[in-house]
Amino acid sequence: MTKVNELTSAGPVTSPALAAVNTALANVLSDGVDVHRCLAAKALGRIGDGAAVEPLIKALLDEDEDVRTDAAEALLALGDPQSVTQLTENLLGDPCSEVKLAAIQTLAKVQDKQIIPWLRRMVKGRDEEIQWDETEFFSTGWDDWVEIQLQSILALAELGATEAVPDIVDAMKDENAQDITETVFKALIKMGPDGTKALIGFLDEPFARPRRRAATVLAAAISDSADDALTRIFSDESADVRMAGLRARAGAYPQDTWITVMLKDADAAIRAEAIALVSGIYAEDLLALLDDPSETVQAAALGALVRSKGLNLNDDLIATLSKKIRHPEPTISMAAARTFAIVAPEAALTELADALADSDLATDIRLAALQGLAKIGGDTVTNSLVAVVDDESRQVRLETMAALASVARHDDQWPNPAAQALLAALGGIYDPEPEIVDENATPEPEPEVQEPEPEAVAEEPAEPEEEPVQTSTLASMLAEGPEIAPVVGLPGDGVELTSEDMERLAIARRVVGKRKMAKEPEVVVYEDIRRFAARVLVDVDHDDVTLALAGALGSDDPEVVQAAAQSIAEIARNKQQLPDGVSDAILAQLDGATLSLKLSFLRALAVCPGDDVVTSLAPLLTDEDSFVRDGAIVALRKLGMDGFAFESFLSDPDPSVRLSAATAIAATGGDKAVARLVEFAISFEGYHGRNTARLLRDVDAKGANAEFLKILHDNEQRRVWSVAIEGLEELNNQENSALAS
């Protein structure tokens, strides 16, 4: 094939090795098969070296439209002005819409002003002086000119072509065209005063939808000097328009006074949204909203009090918060409880504890009190929480234990009462006491059971006469109903129904049962407590907790075992090593464990070094389940086993197992690892090619680069060139260049 001996560039090639990569890919782009040419164009674009510009420009004349498209998109990534002339020719003369789209984006990126007149013409329609694929619509059913029109509008905005504003507005107002409103509005706001003026004009539209879209863009973009436009947005008759403007303004200008103005809006949803969006609202404004007619607004005001300015904690406010804790609306009671706990924890403590303990209150109110208590923390709170761990309400029980975990996690002391309460729950303190049997007591005689006198055997009733089988006539089907045949004028012997009639009748007779909400599961309270304790203790980081969870693996309750195993596995995620004794508890349960248990055990054992652990994990490498094999490889690799011990797994039937084995070999490193991983990359039709190349970055990027180049230079390996091209791309892309020096 034709060789590209030397590449010129606007900028220096970073290294001879990278130059070799560029040259090899340029050769493929020039003379390879179509699939390889496409891959080479993409790779050169991602590698991003200036030496690739010239071969990519030549590729814009390729006979394959896919290659031309990939070359144009690669030039977009490079953004080199050298490509302007050829890209303009492709824009006007290439019928492929994808090439045109990439050309438009690149020309806008390099700020080629000469293209503006052509873009304006493309905004208006299919210009006769531009070549189009006239058969595309009939073959695909989609007119790609719409995409080109949209891209042209965005490009004009990027080029600052204010003279094109009327063209863009006219295109949007075309009743026979696609809805391009959002794209047009985003473009107009970038086109200076002329574009902004045109956009403000849409606030006069009779329908709310265009006004809302215009408000969203304007409120986020215009400066404080555009008071007239903002006034119109925030006084619009449509609540949707005002809401859109509010959200956009708050996102762009969180300190803007317009947001505070909306606290007095007529729409409750807008008032509530304004409360949530205002940054540093004054408490005085919020206190006035605590008696708002809308409960949603009240809840929002209560929640915002904690971040308000100038809050005066007086008796009136405490009384108000105390009262609202028991409000029947859950959102209000929960907001009041949280706020009370934060702004006045000492005053709130007794009130919240009483509400939590009151089983006659609605569950939502008790849960609100519980959340408030969790924010206060301390031993008194812990006592209140412990008192309801075995509450009749399952939701209260579960939320209480989660709150105890939160209190324990934020307590710097160890041991702390909240953690001890959870450990006691895990240990079975709430289990029912076994009944004590006095071995010396004289057993009471069992009462005599009198045998019932035998009853007389009743005679079997005579078998009922068989009912006549109904035939497929309307008369037979209505045999038990009123005589309607004479009324409707049916013949005496009925009307014969077709098989289709019979099928329809059968469907009509089906009674579809009503769907019912699933009932709360029936659980035994003490079992429920242990199971949930095993789950929430994952958030309490201490060796004592991990050891207690390990002890729970011997429970006779499978759900406790499962929850404890998952918690230990999660704890192991952020640990270098688990405490001594955890591995012994796990290994005692490993044989015969379910699949989900094994997977949790494997994650935990990965940070439990020891010869006994390695010995126990080795048999799992041949487990019939691929997840187990994968987990065993990962665990043994983390425990320090040589990566080449897993070499045979590079041919495992499961892809995840193969990749885990490759990861283990990569962690071992060395020249042997590079050669073996490159060999693995081209196996299985290159399925793992990209992932393997990413692994090779950290092993020996330059060595891997050389191996992939050898493949590209070998015509006998043309079948796997695609893997080599993708490998070079991954090794040398701009984000992770292997040959930067």
Out of 186-195, 389-398, 478-487, 668-677, which region has the weakest mean confidence (pLDDT)?
A: 478-487
Return d(Cα 32, Cα 544) in angstroms, integer.
64
Using an 8 Å Cβ cutoff, are 290 and 317 in contact?
A: no
Return d(Cα 390, Cα 385) in angstroms, integer.
10
For position 63, what pLDDT does the model report?
94
For 672-697, what is the mean pLDDT?
Answer: 95
pLDDT tens-place string over residues 490-539: 455 555 666 666 656 555 555 444 455 445 567 789 999 999 999 999 99
Return d(Cα 665, Cα 661) in angstroms, integer.
6
What is the amino acid identity at position 56?
L
* pLDDT-above-90 percentage for the chain: 62
Return d(Cα 572, Cα 569) in angstroms, integer.
5
**Residue whose C-alpha is closest to residue 216's, from 251, 190, 254, 192:** 251
Q: What is the DSSP-derived secondary structure letter of residue 56?
A: H
Neighbours of 223 (CB within 10 A): 9
* Residue 515 CB-density burial (10 A; 0-12 exposed, 13-18 middle, 19+ buried): exposed
Question: How many angstroms separate the most distant Cα atoms in the chain?
Answer: 112
For 543-548, what is the mean pLDDT?
Answer: 96
Q: What is the mean pLDDT of the chain?
A: 86
Q: At what angle do helices 671-681 and 689-712 cross, to 10 degrees?
A: 100
Using an 8 Å Cβ cutoff, are 74 and 54 in contact?
A: no
Q: For residue 673, what are its two tokens?
A: 């690892």
pLDDT reading at 478 higher than 50: no
Using an 8 Å Cβ cutoff, are 307 and 283 in contact?
A: no
pLDDT tens-place string over residues 314-326: 889 899 999 998 8
pLDDT tens-place string over residues 280-330: 778 888 888 999 999 999 999 998 888 888 888 888 989 999 999 889 898
Return d(Cα 72, Cα 85) in angstroms, integer.
12
Q: For residue 27, what are its two tokens?
A: 């050769």
Q: Quote the distance between the C-alpha of residue 676 and its chain's center.
A: 36
pLDDT confidence band for 667 (50 / 70 / 90): very high
pLDDT reading at 138 higher than 50: yes
For position 477, what pLDDT does the model report?
40
Task: Write out the DSSP string of 346-360.
Answer: HHHHHHHHHHHH-TT
Q: For residue 145, what are its two tokens?
A: 């000119």
Return d(Cα 343, Cα 15) in angstroms, integer.
63
Using an 8 Å Cβ cutoff, are 237 and 228 in contact?
A: no
What are the phi and psi torsion angles at 496 (to 5°)? Answer: -70, 130
For 419-440, what is the mean pLDDT?
Answer: 80
Inter-CA distances, 592 with 44, 260, 514, 554, 607, Å: 53, 64, 42, 13, 22
pLDDT tens-place string over residues 6-62: 444 333 345 788 899 999 999 999 999 999 999 999 999 999 988 899 999 999 999
For position 436, what pLDDT does the model report?
56
Return d(Cα 406, Cα 668) in angstroms, integer.
41
pLDDT confidence band for 238 (50 / 70 / 90): very high
Using an 8 Å Cβ cutoff, are 201 and 194 in contact?
A: no
**Does the reported pTM lie above 0.75?**
yes
Return d(Cα 298, Cα 292) in angstroms, integer.
6
Return d(Cα 377, Cα 411) in angstroms, integer.
8
Using an 8 Å Cβ cutoff, are 208 and 219 in contact?
A: no
pLDDT reading at 437 higher than 50: yes
Using an 8 Å Cβ cutoff, are 156 and 168 in contact?
A: yes
pLDDT confidence band for 156 (50 / 70 / 90): very high
pLDDT confidence band for 178 (50 / 70 / 90): confident
Using an 8 Å Cβ cutoff, are 272 and 294 in contact?
A: yes
pLDDT tens-place string over residues 613-622: 999 999 999 9
